[in-house]
Structure 1
Amino acid sequence: MRGVRGSARLAVVLLALAGAAWAARAVWEIRLAVTGEPASGPPDQGGGQHRPLTSLEDSFHLVNTAGGIVALLCAIVFLLWLDNVRDNARTLSGQQPRHSGFWLYAGWLIPVLNLWIPRGIVADVHRDSAPGERLPRSLNVWWVLWLTGLISGVGLLYGDEVDELIARAYTDLWMLLASDAAVIGAAVAGIFVVRAVTAVQQRYIDGDRRDGDSPGQANA
């Protein structure tokens, strides 16, 4: 079995940073709303015309870009962790996963299927690692909040253009903040999911070591 503590810790750190990045973006959206839309109108003037950005709008672009980079790193690290615990679950159960390795990545990207396959993969990992134990409550909380952020158009996978977000901050701040809150909540709940799944597997890894075996030897 693979060790999972290192990848889990890194996933937790990146999830926390992703939540912080979205919180920073929410702060900039509030600043935009408080400042108010310039008399010249939204950045996208229509017909392919864009007016020069204000300094605050320009800084929002920077905050959004930084958040996007953190979100990308978070996604990569989370998938690496999920790949690790998925392999361990296969060793513990002695069965092939219900979803092939292809779905570990494509399941997040294919419309409609991405509404349930990623959650199913995480749930299967927990069931195979701890048969008979209830799924952690954080799993459903995480998934509901993730889907809310996803469908609202400001999630980590599907998002408006930055100038569209600026326009929404001027005219529809509360809906935008509600979507941001869902993404932040999903990041926090995701931390609990990572810790819960890691904990059930770590019990077996630590147990193997106390018995004097290499991790997974007793399950081979």
Structure 2
Amino acid sequence: MDQPAARPLAHRPVQVSGQLAAGGLVVAGLAWVVRGVWEVRLARAGEPDAGPPDQGNGVHRPLNALENSYHLVTSMGDVLVFLCAALFLSWLWRLRENARALSGDAPKYLGIWVYLGWIVPVVNLWFPRGIVVDAFRAGAPGRKLPGSVDVWWGLWLIGMLSGVGIVCRDSTDQIIGRAYSEVWPLLVSDTAVVGAAVAGAFAVRAVTAVQVERLRGARAAGSQVTGVV
């Protein structure tokens, strides 16, 4: 008797998405390097006699040329980071959906957490990494998690929790004041952010490569079953 043809594996193309996400992370890291360079320039220039830009009680003095350029650098960096985030989330969604198609099991984390997991307090300390790990293990059981994933997440947490890095509630003028008074905490945080971006790019490439390999193997196995009579 003929065996029923295997259903083709439904998947979302992830290779190009992974390349774009990795590239976006590198670009965001470079933007943060430029930001750090400007903070060093501010520290070397020294605080003007008029004091910091944020005078307190809602009073801000006119900015000088260097301070204005720092505002421009941070604004451009914010745009690049936003684009990087969009590319990364697109890749993460595809990774998660492909892992579900490969394993046949429901993901551990609901799809909404692909987006909200980064901004909801407390859960943002582990949900994003958990989504990556869950998708990797579901799609490639038995494979060792790339070490770059843990390096990326560790540096990301340092940059996020430092108070001057990825998630910073201070205004740009207040950060300028910090650069004038004590630039080293800013530079340490900047280093963590850049390191997270670089490690993240390696993590995306490694995780993507494993899933692409598994998808190709699954499609090949499906083709062989389809050809069996």
For this structure pair, what is the TM-score category when the shorter chain's length is used for normalisation?
Answer: over 0.9
Report the Cα distance in structure 2 between the residues aligned to 1:188 and 1:210, rounded to whole angstroms.
33
Aligned mates of 1:39, 1:50 — CA distance in 2: 14
Letter in 2 for 1:55: A
Counterpart of 1:110 in structure 2 is 120
- 2:159·2:190 contact (CA, 8 Å) conserved in 1? yes
Are 1:140 and 2:119 matched, yes or no?
no
Identity %: 55
Supply the AA of the counterpart residue of 1:104.
Answer: V
- Report how far residue 160 of structure 1 moved: 2.3
Q: Is the 8 A contact 1:32 1:169 kept in 2?
A: yes
- How far apart are 1:48 and its partner, in Å? 1.1
Gaps of 5+ in 2: 1-10
Alpha-carbon contact 1:169-1:176 (below 8 Å) kept? yes
- Partner residue in 2 for 1:186: 196
Q: Which has the higher mean CA deviation after the structures are superposed, 202-211 or 159-168?
A: 202-211
Equivalent positions of 1:125-204 (< 5 A) are 125-204=135-214
SS of match in other structure, 2:55:
strand
Contact 2:38 2:70 in 1 (8 A): yes
Post-superposition shift, 1:192? Answer: 1.1
Contact 2:92 2:132 in 1 (8 A): yes
Deviations 1:114-162 (A, max 9, x none): 0011110111011111111221111111111000000112333444210
Counterparts of 1:93 and 1:206, CA distance in 2: 14
Kept in 1, the 8 Å contact 2:161–2:167? The answer is no
CA displacement at 1:95 relative to structure 2: 0.3
The answer to whether the Cα contact below 8 Å between 1:43 and 1:50 also exists between their aligned partners in 2 is yes
Moved more, 180-189 or 133-142: 133-142
The one-letter code of the counterpart of 1:195 is R
Higher Cα Rg, which structure? 2
Partner residue, 1:58:
68
> 2:29 touches 2:193 (CA, 8 Å); kept in 1?
yes
RMSD: 1.5
Residue 106 of structure 1 aligns to which amino acid in structure 2? L
Contact persistence 1:3–1:205 (CA under 8 A): no
Deviation of the 1:209 alpha carbon: 5.2
Q: Which residue of 1 aligns with 2:58?
A: 48
User: SS of 1:45's equivalent?
Assistant: strand
Instruction: Give the residue type in structure 2 aligned to 1:107.
Output: G
Q: Among residues 15, 19, 28, which one is paired with 1:5 in the alignment?
A: 15
Q: Distance in 2 between matches of 1:184 and 1:19?
A: 5
Matched residue SS, 2:192: helix
Cα displacement (A) at 1:5: 1.0
